[in-house]
A and B are shown apart, each in its own frame.
Chain A
Amino acid sequence: MDLPNSNAQTTDHALGLFLASVELKAFRIARAALRHEDDALDAVQDAMLHLARSYAHRPPEQWKPLFYRILENRIRDMQRRRSVRNRVMSWLPFTADADGESDPIAEAVSPEISPVRRLELDESLVALERALATLPRRQQQVFLLRTLEGLDVAQTAHAMGCSQGSVKTHYFRALRALRMQLGDLQ
């Protein structure tokens, strides 16, 4: 019997199950931060690849915080890159229209949400997504990691690279802001 091969197959199986369990939530967290479907998919894919290549040998209970830590870093990198790109593009004369108006498609908040999907979505969810989009990024990420992914305070702190006290503060502020915006969510 080939024990190392058997162990490798077990790890592959466990890793596959883990990735399948987090991929949808991870995508939604990335989409909330990046507000772009393809960017969010890229971020999740990068995080999956990085985890599988560099941390697959770690115990499975460490995978979730590691995965979200990688995803968080990836989201931050993409946001920085986008910010630099926007700054550079704002200096170029040909980026604006002749009448000075910017491109509404490029500036759309959530281009991935089609009208058809909007109709399909629950009103509450649309309202929640809008409210989430107004939150500061750290609050938004902490809130989604805690609420959507169900990470505890310590795991969230590890994923976000901050203290547990910061996680509690961000989470409370996010919850209070959403409560103020949404009122009684049905």
Chain B
Amino acid sequence: MNVPGDDLARFERRIRAVLERDAGGLSGRVRSRLTQARHAALAGARARRDRPRWPLLRTWLPASATAAAAVAAIWLLRPYRTAPPPLAPGAGIVTTRDVQLLTDGDGFAMVEDGDGEFYEWAVAQARSKPGSPAGEAGPSKHDG
């Protein structure tokens, strides 16, 4: 009795035999091209193996090392400077207003006289006539 699996297995063996018979049936042109392809592949493998692994690194490594050494030398040989002592908050800062106060003799005189009236007037003038400078009306006070 024929089992389908056995039948297929026998058929498979026959196919194998037919295919193996054909191994010598290829033309000389095909064989020649396959041989050329094989040699080309082997040459490609050799070329890849002989190629330097890190061509860019080889090129750039000396230049990078030189540059790094130059930067390190500049850093080490720079003139030595001591840091200034820390300042107290607000100390040592001189503004223009301070200079004006020191140089303004009238201001000192007014402060010494305690003449606050002038300032009250100046403020009132400025409120009543926003366009007129307080200094212009100053002499009228003394006139009255």
Chain B residues whose C-beta falls within 8 Å of the C-beta of A44 in the assembled complex: 34, 37
Chain B residues whose C-beta falls within 8 Å of the C-beta of A147 in the assembled complex: 12, 15-16, 19
Residues 37-89 of A at the B interface (beta carbon under 8 Å): 37, 41, 44-45, 48-49, 51-53, 56
How many A residues have CB within 8 A of the partner chain?
Answer: 38
Range of interface residues on chain B? Answer: 20 to 34
CA distance A18 to B30 in the complex (A): 18
What is the predominant secondary structure among interface residues of chain A facing chain B? helix
User: When each residue 7-40 of chain A gets 1 if its CB lies under 8 Å from chain B and 0 otherwise, what string results?
Assistant: 0100110011001100111011000000001000
On whether A52 and B8 interact (CB within 8 A), knowing A41-B37, A122-B22, the answer reads no
Interface presence of B14 (CB below 8 A): yes
Q: Which residues of B contact A (CB under 8 A)?
A: 7-8, 11-12, 14-16, 18-19, 21-23, 25-27, 30-31, 33-35, 37-38, 40-42, 44-46, 48-49
Identify 13 new A-B residue pairs, CB closer than 8 A, beyond the known A27-B26, A178-B15.
A15-B42, A23-B34, A24-B23, A45-B33, A52-B48, A53-B41, A53-B44, A120-B25, A122-B21, A125-B18, A147-B15, A148-B19, A178-B11
